[in-house]
Amino acid sequence: MILFIIKRVLAGFALLFGVSTATFALVYSGGGDIAGQLLGGDAGPEAVAAKARQLGLDQPLMAQYWHWLTHAITGDLGVSWYSSQPVLPTILQRLSVTLSIVVVALLVVTLASVTIGIVAALRRGWIDRVLQTASVIGLALPSFWVGLVLVIVFAISLRWVPATGFVPFQESPARWFASIVLPVVALGLAAASATAQQVRSAVIGVLEQDYVRTLRARGLSGTRVLWGHVLRNAAPPGLTVLSLQFISMVGGAVIIERIFAINGMGSLAVDSTLKNDIPVVVGVMVVMTVVVVLINLAIDIVNGFINPKATVAS
């Protein structure tokens, strides 16, 4: 297991280097008048040239990359060209907002999808059909539309929760909950629907195995068979789907953050790209790569514990 983790960590570093290099090359070689765009419409050519010099844009690309890389290794991802804020603390602050929503959404998705998936797989019949239909509908509804409807009903009409914004947990747990409840539902609905289908299929697949029939024949209770054997064996595909859903939700948060005016990683990525705030764009890519690598590593480790064959196979 240790060797497995070391291999994964090394692969993660290689991926991080590749992604950061590719991102840097892409955004810096994109062309366009970055300095002029940062200064806005009224700035004259002299001001634009001075800004380009100040940002180091007059230097060769390799020199700019080397400067960035040598600082990035020490944890210094630079300063935003737009807001003058240091990049890493800005990203970490935004990441905490997005993760706050996505982690809760993942929790809700896990609870809902496992419950729905197990009930559908065990009961079958009309309950299965109803839950499957509901899952398909949940999967088909666009998250932005769900978000807008939720805002209209619960924030504007009923005024139960705020329509926009995010309140940090440490500021007020109650207001934090109120600020994330709608984004979590909007973000998690499709994910829960997709994962429920996956859990249902996995559970049905295991239930149809010979050893389950044998366990039942030996007199084990349905609960023990379910929790002790069926779910344990159905878990790996479910976990894999959940890890993919997590990554997908981090990406999908872009739209949800826009609708709810929540300034998380998605908004930061979009805004910094639109503003040509390249240090932030590169920083976002680096941090997101780290997040994805860590999630995959965590899922691999958990899978390894649940099913040791997975570790050997990989």
Q: Cβ 135 to another protein, closest distance in Å? A: 22
Interatomic CA distance for residues 115 and 299, integer angstroms: 21
> Among residues 282, 196, 279, 293, which one has the least CA distance to residue 250?
293
Q: Cβ 222 to another protein, closest distance in Å? A: 16
* 267 or 303: CB nearest another protein: 267
Q: Cβ 161 to another protein, closest distance in Å? A: 6
Report if residue 110 touches another protein, rule: CB under 8 A. Answer: no
Report if residue 139 touches another protein, rule: CB under 8 A. Answer: no
Report if residue 125 touches another protein, rule: CB under 8 A. Answer: no
Report if residue 128 touches another protein, rule: CB under 8 A. Answer: no
Q: Cβ 200 to another protein, closest distance in Å? A: 21
Interatomic CA distance for residues 226 and 285, integer angstroms: 41
Hey, what are 18's tokens? 């590749």
Spatial contact of 177 and 98, defined as CB atoms under 8 Å apart: no
The distance between the two most distant Cα atoms of the chain, rounded to a whole number of Å, is 86
Q: Cβ 309 to another protein, closest distance in Å? A: 27
Q: How many residues does the chain have?
A: 314
Spatial contact of 303 and 244, defined as CB atoms under 8 Å apart: no
Part of the chain binding another protein (CB under 8 A), chosen from 127-135, 177-185, 194-202, 231-239:
177-185
Would you tell me how many other CB atoms lie within 10 Å of the CB of residue 75? 7
Interatomic CA distance for residues 6 and 51, integer angstroms: 44
* 161 or 290: CB nearest another protein: 161
* 70 or 164: CB nearest another protein: 164
Spatial contact of 179 and 229, defined as CB atoms under 8 Å apart: no
Hey, what are 165's tokens? 């914004």
How many positions of this chain bind another protein (CB under 8 A)? Answer: 56
* 16 or 181: CB nearest another protein: 181
Spatial contact of 138 and 192, defined as CB atoms under 8 Å apart: yes
Contact pick of 181, 196, 207, 284 for another protein (by CB under 8 A): 181
Interatomic CA distance for residues 277 and 280, integer angstroms: 6
Residues 222-261 binding another protein (CB under 8 A) are: 258-261
* 245 or 267: CB nearest another protein: 267
H or E element in which residue 209 lies: none
Residues 24-53 binding another protein (CB under 8 A) are: 32-33, 36-37, 39-48, 50-51
Report if residue 217 touches another protein, rule: CB under 8 A. Answer: no
Report if residue 145 touches another protein, rule: CB under 8 A. Answer: no
Query: DSSP per residue over 82-119, as a string?
Result: TT--BHHHHHHHHHHHHHHHHHHHHHHHHHHHHHHHHH
Q: Provide the 3-class DSSP secondary structure of residue 292.
A: helix
Report if residue 296 touches another protein, rule: CB under 8 A. Answer: no
Write out the residues near another protein by the rule CB under 8 A.
Answer: 32-33, 36-37, 39-48, 50-51, 82-85, 90, 93-94, 97, 148, 151, 155-156, 159-167, 172-175, 177-179, 181, 258-261, 263, 267-268, 271, 274-276
